[in-house]
Amino acid sequence: MLELINIGEADFGCEERAEDAPLMCGLTFKGEHGYVYKEILDEKVDELALVKGMKISEEELENLLKG
């Protein structure tokens, strides 16, 4: 199981987000074998009801991200 420990702005490195690039969120999960970081469209966070502290399997996470 993975626990969602952080929802924040996606990391664009030292570059700013391009004007035509969609707004992204970075999701950090903690699991048995370390941390997992995924990026997702900002609007999907609310649509999928993602909240800190929620627990999800790796399979469920991949299915959610596929849309």
pLDDT of amino acid 20: 84
Angle at 12 between CA 10 and CA 16, to 5 degrees: 115
For residue 50, how far is the Cα from the chain centroid?
9
Q: How far apart are CA 9 and CA 57, in angstroms?
A: 23
CATH number of this structure's domain 2-66: 2.40.50
Distances (CA, A) of 30 to 23, 43, 52, 53: 23, 22, 11, 10
Q: pLDDT, tens digit, for every residue of 11-66?
A: 666 777 778 888 889 999 999 999 999 999 999 999 889 999 999 999 998 888 88
Residue 3 pLDDT > 90: yes
pLDDT score at 16: 74
The pLDDT, as a whole number, for residue 67 is 64
The domain limits of the chain are 2-66
